[in-house]
Structure 1
Amino acid sequence: MAEPETSKPKPRPIVRLGTLLISHSVLVSVVCCVAGVLALLLLPILAKNTYISENALMPGSASPMLSNLDVSDANRLVNDLSELSSRSNDAGIVQRLIGRYISDLGGEVGYHQFHPDSSRFHPLHFFSVPDTGIVQENINCSCHGISVTGIVRAPRGDGKEAIVLVTPYNYTNAGSADHLSLGIAYSVFSLLSQVTWLAKDIIWLIADSQCGEYASVAAWLRDYHSPTFSGFHANNSHTCDVITTHHDVKENVAKDMSSRDSFIRAGTMAAALVVKVVDRNEPFEDSLGVYAEASNGQMPNLDLINIVNYLAVHRQGLRVKVRKLFSLLDTKWVSFLAEVLESLGSIARRLNPQWKFGIPAADYVDGTATLFGSLYHQALGVPTGPHGAFRDYQVDAVTLEFSPRHYSISKGRTKDFILRGGRLIEGVIRSVNNLLEKFHQSFFLYLLTSPSKFVSVGVYMIAFALLVAPLPVAAASLYAEANCLDTSLDDAKSFSPPAATVNELVISERSWRWIKAVKKVLIVHLWGTTVSLLPYFISQTPSLTPITKLAVWGLFSVVCLLFPYFLLGSPFAGVSGTEEYKHEWALLKSATISAAFIGLGLMSVINFAAAEFGALLMVPMCLMVQPLKLDLRARTLKNLARAAVNLVLAIVGLPPATYYILKCTFGSFDGINIEDFWWWVESLWSWNSATYLFLGMVHLPCWLLCVQILLHS
């Protein structure tokens, strides 16, 4: 009697789901990519109103204490600075004047003499704050400055925490806006030197901005967190010559600094506010611009922006602005999409009044411009102001940029403007003063669609996840297809030699083919790493022009690409035309897609915005690529359309082409200037932006591999 055949166990549900996705990889890729783009465009609708997460902040709970007397003292300082600027541009006189004003309030006065870091690319400086040794090798001796520091000790504090107030000021060439910045900060500093409720020390840094606003703040923070007890001159005499001056007053300031340790400190920084006044002549009302982006897309805690926005709007009546891409405001496709979404929202509300889908078209257009502005500035990885230097030390900071009305200053309304700005700063400092710990309740990962609306990480990651989800599915599908082809070829050859010998040979050959594809991908990514490091060596020759540097960079990149061609075997060699090797490009595409998926995943941890833009460019290019020879041989409309799309994606995916296309689309396009691309790339590596490494080590190698697949013979 025959024994019943044992039925095979059913695979697990997760295995069956994976098999289903792999078998329909094309449909999954199309659906996920379309859904990812739609999810990104729907983010302005999904944005939520901001709210204060930390109850201890209590913004606006106390009445402002800034009086007209404090404003009058600040106005007197503004007048004195204006008079000095009209008579002389001696920085020493201005520094001593500010120091005397601080001393009259009972504050401690200190001077910080510094040489800023030179903007020089170094591959080891990414993702880290330079230590003292590295800084001494990177000192820029062509510029120097002296910043003035004042500290008010908190009567209710223990000296362990501090709040920093920064006003960039060019001591040698200051304008009326710079004087007003000092006037606003001084009015607040004057008030805080008298109050009894202060629990955190107040540090007022009047940063010398003649070498750059960021450079002076970064130099002060570096010395604040890395104290040297031998004095500035002793520590830097081997690097730069001692500063010589021609004015008696400035020489006295230098003597005061050298005679004692004039660098004064307080406790750990709880938050920082950078106060600036710009002369933009607002036509209707006083406005406040908030800048929050730091290096590599870092953002301060959202609560800090929330209290600034709440106090500015509801207490001082200021119009708050955040950066946006103004070119999108007049884009036709954004306006059309806004009208469509507004119509869909109206239909949804008629069906069910509880469905809150859709916003007015004008709000959507403005929210989209603000959202992409937030994404753009985070993706660059370059700080948008001096506040970025604080974020490198994990201190929450924002830059507050006041813009007065066009007649506020001309008609003698300086005191009113100082009063409004000073009361705003007072309210923010009072809220931070209430905290018993650092900011931690609200979000650190978010995108702004307006000063009062945001998209949290749990929402905007959906768009990125949908965009990159097809990559592992497509890679697995290509690998499975290649294995199925190998299996059919093995069955066709099984009649020749013994089965054991054939299986061993086939396994060895199949493994070698998989390893060969991975080897090609690794070689190209090593080439990308080499290309990323070349600017460090090219920058050692400062006499070269930007166009020459770009040409040398391109030439050496091609030479480095030819090197593995001669020594290691070219990763761009064609394949034989036999049936056994006709799908070798599929294995290479599978390995390329896998490398792109890993690179995008790692970049999303470092800088999500850069990974989002990279996914929008790389995912369609990696999924669509196929040898042109196959499409041209078929000569059908579908194949010819795919070949045309692949050529367009290959052109758009090249980093220089991408730069100029985005500049033409979102910026002011005034012609193609080759120097612009070099300056843009140089700015990325000068700021140690991770976006530069992503372009050189992930995006460029994947583009080159896709071009190889496209030109596969």
Structure 2
Amino acid sequence: MGLLSDPNRRRALISLLTRLNAPICVLCYFAAVCWFMGLSFEPFTLRTYMSENAMGSTMVEERFPAGERALATAKEFGAHKKKVGGMPVDWLVKTMQARGLEVFTQRFSRTLPFPDENNERYIVEGTNVYGILRAPRAPRTEALVLSAPCSPGDDNNQAVGLLLGLAHYFRNQVFWAKDIIFLVNEHDLIGMQAWLEGYHHTNTTGMDWSPLQGRGGSIQAALSLELSSDVVTSLDIVLEGLNGQLPNLDLANLFYAFCQKIGVLCTIQGRIQRNDWDSVSGYSHAVQTMMLMVMKQASGRSWGDHGLFLRYHIEAATIKGINSFRQYKTDATTVGRLLEGMYRKLNNLLERLHQSYFFYLMPSLSHFVSIGYYMPAFGLLAVILLLRVSLHRNSSLLFS
């Protein structure tokens, strides 16, 4: 305090900072870069772990058997979609009703500020179809969501087929303590935004949509499924939402735990996890994976339908099938069992996911970097701004 209260010493300090401003800024910049790059080195990261006790064990027996039937349903869905030239609403309603769900539809329209790239249209109209499996053993105050977007062409037909297969299988189970909502949304993000606004009785985008006739409890978690082939080689989890928002880390940990249990190859940012962290190539791989996550967050856009759930404080992620690693194969039955296991664990939650991290970076699915580790790097970059501003201010005072 004496240094700052003494005018002579304060003047000497300001003179020193002014004279060494550029070298200090360069030093802070390189220190920040080195700090941030060092976070990808495995000994400097933390291993992922389950913070929520209700999801701490994967000791459940997954029995979903109907992968082939789900693929047959996907082909039927694709045929009806091709026949009507879009979402086969009537077929979906009848199929969901046949599986014992309470089925509802929602029409929506959105005026675009610029023409659609594919059809050169300014108005997008569509219909969402969703079915609710009511919880047989609870007061129906909470819900989980499984969604699959109805994409153009043959894309994502397998995801819709698997969603309907899981709905039929879940209907025959008696241990559900939460409502489960099976949603097929049209026009990807636009349809999902319309459904979420209707579900929460809000309208933040000016979109026109019909009110929802059926509603479950408060949504605790959601998964969006994207599959475009009968057999996938790996499952990739997408976490980045709007404005860089991320779901609770326990949701990613749950996905990784069941992938390890069932033996499914799992990736993040579309990259396989490597074990040779002590080699140059292994370290470079971790750096690239982490930087991809940083760049996606910096873009501000949602990288899946799940990103819109995060705006409503609903923990959500997108699970995407990838066909890049030909030596591995995962069929629809295995994917269905993984989703069954995840939903059975989410069914055990007594409160929203909150015990784990909301701000983190992941060089791999087994390791993460918490906000307490990467914020010092940004602090050093902020010091540079303060030093440059102080230099400009002192120069202005000097010339005045």
CA distance in 1, matches of 2:245, 2:251: 14
Q: CA deviation at 1:474?
A: 3.9
Cα shift readout 1:19-54 (whole Å, capped 9, x = no counterpart)? 565664343222211111211221211332211111
Percent of counterpart pairs with the same letter? 27
Work out whether 1:420 is the aligned partner of 2:334: yes
What is the aligned partner in structure 2 of residue 264 from structure 1? 214
What is the aligned counterpart of 1:397 among 316, 325, 330? 316
Please name the residue that 1:322 is paired with.
Answer: 268
Q: 2:30 aligns with which of 29, 34, 38?
A: 34
Aligned-residue offset at 1:14:
11
Greater relative contact order, per chain length (Cα 8 Å cut-off, separation 6+): 2
Native 8 Å contact 2:145 2:219 kept in 1: yes
Corresponding letter in the other structure for 1:101: T
CA distance in 2, matches of 1:59, 1:183: 29
Output the CA distance in 2 between the equivalents of 1:479 and 1:91: 62
2:334 is equivalent to residue 388 of structure 1: no
What is the aligned counterpart of 1:25 among 21, 34, 37?
A: 21
2:118 equivalent in structure 1: none
Q: 1:185 to 1:470 in 2, by over 3 A?
A: same
CA distance in structure 1 between the aligned counterparts of 2:141 and 2:249, rounded to whole angstroms? 24
* 1:228-377 pair list within 5 angstroms: 263-279=213-229, 286-312=233-259, 314-323=260-269, 359-377=278-296
**1:431 — aligned with what?**
345
1:166 equivalent to 2:85? Answer: no
Residue identity matched to 1:116: R
Q: Is 1:303–1:442's contact at 8 Å kept on the other side of the alignment? A: yes
For residues 89-135 of structure 1, the C-alpha deviation after alignment (integer angstroms, 9 at most, x for no partner) is 3557x322222222122210101111135256xxxxxxxxxxxxxxx
Q: Give the Cα separation in 2 of the matches to 1:141 and 1:112.
A: 20
Q: Which residue of 1 aligns with 2:190?
A: 215
Matched to 2:389, the amino acid is A
Q: Counterpart of 1:445 in structure 2: which amino acid? A: F
Check the 8 A contact 1:148/1:207 in 2, yes or no: yes
CA RMSD of aligned residues (A): 3.4
1:50–1:296: structure 2 CA closer, same or farther, 3 Å change rule? same
> Per-residue deviation at 1:451?
2.2
Q: Find out whether 1:51 has 2:28 as its counterpart.
A: no
SS in 2 for 1:441: coil
Match of residue 181 from structure 1: 159
- Which letter does structure 2 place at the counterpart of 1:89? V
Match of 1:107 in 2: 101
Could you tell me which of 112, 121, 126 is aligned with 1:118?
Answer: 112
- Indicate how the Cα distance of structure 1 residues 141 and 397 shifts in structure 2: closer, same or farther if over 3 A, else same: same
With normalisation by structure 2, the TM-score equals 0.84
Structure 2 match to 1:136 = none
CA distance 1:57–1:227, shift in 2 (3 Å): same
Question: Structure 1 or 2: larger strand share?
Answer: 2
Count the aligned residue pairs: 383
Q: 1:262 to 1:23 in 2, by over 3 A?
A: closer
Looking at structure 2, the residues matched to 478 and 98 of structure 1 have their Cα atoms a distance apart, in angstroms, of 65
Measure, in 2, the Cα distance between the counterparts of 1:422 and 1:324.
20
Highest Rg: 1 or 2? 1
Determine if contact 1:149/1:206 at 8 Å carries over to the other structure. Answer: yes
C-alpha displacement of 1:437: 1.0
- 1:375 shift after superposition: 1.0
CA distance in 2, matches of 1:79, 1:295: 33
Contact 1:164 1:272 in 2 (8 A): yes
- Give structure 1 stretches of 5+ with no counterpart: 1-8, 121-139, 229-234, 241-256, 327-341, 343-357, 487-509, 511-713
Structure 2 CA distance for aligned equivalents of residues 478 and 324 of structure 1: 45
CA distance in structure 1 between the aligned counterparts of 2:71 and 2:81, rounded to whole angstroms:
15
Helix, strand or coil at the partner of 2:103:
strand
Q: Which stretch shifts more, 40-49 or 74-83?
A: 74-83
* 3-state secondary structure, aligned to 1:44: coil
Deviations 1:313-354 (A, max 9, x none): x1232222222799xxxxxxxxxxxxxxx9xxxxxxxxxxxx
Over 3 Å counting, the alpha-carbon distance change for 1:398 and 1:295 in structure 2 is same
Counterpart-to-counterpart distance in 2, 1:91 and 1:473: 58
Residue 124 of structure 2: SS of its match in structure 1?
coil
Instruction: Indicate if the aligned counterparts of 1:117 and 1:215 stay in contact, CA closer than 8 A.
Output: no
Q: CA deviation at 1:477?
A: 4.4
2:184 pairs with 206, 211, 226, which one? 206
Q: Distance in 1 between matches of 2:91 and 2:295?
A: 41
**Structure 2 unpaired stretches of 5+:** 115-120
User: Secondary structure in 1 aligned to 2:24?
Assistant: helix
State the one-letter code of the partner of 2:107. Q
Residues 198-232 of structure 1 show CA distances to partners (whole Å, capped at 9, x for unaligned) of 11100011112xxx31111111111111179xxxx
Give the 3-state SS of the residue equivalent to 1:400 in structure 2.
strand
The match for 1:62 among 60, 63, 69 is 60
Instruction: Give the counterpart of 1:196 among 174, 185, 188.
Output: 174
Q: 1:585-615, CA deviations, whole angstroms, 9 ceiling, x for partnerless residues?
A: xxxxxxxxxxxxxxxxxxxxxxxxxxxxxxx
Answer yes or no: is 1:97 the counterpart of 2:78: no
Q: Distance in 1 between matches of 2:148 and 2:189?
A: 11
In 1, Cα distance between equivalents of 2:309 and 2:202: 17
TM-score by length of 1: 0.49
How far 1:458 sits from its partner (Å)?
A: 0.9
Match of 1:278, as an amino acid? Answer: S
CA gap of 1:359–1:217, structure 2 versus 1, over 3 A, is: same
| Residues 33 and 466 in structure 1, CA contact (< 8 A), matched pair in contact too | yes
Q: Tell me, in whole angstroms, the C-alpha distance in 2 between the residues paired with 1:77 and 1:324.
A: 28
- Tell me, yes or no, if the aligned pair for 1:297 and 1:381 is still in contact at 8 Å: yes
Provide the rounded CA distance (Å) in 2 between the counterparts of 1:304 and 1:215.
24
Secondary structure of residue in 1 paired with 2:33: helix
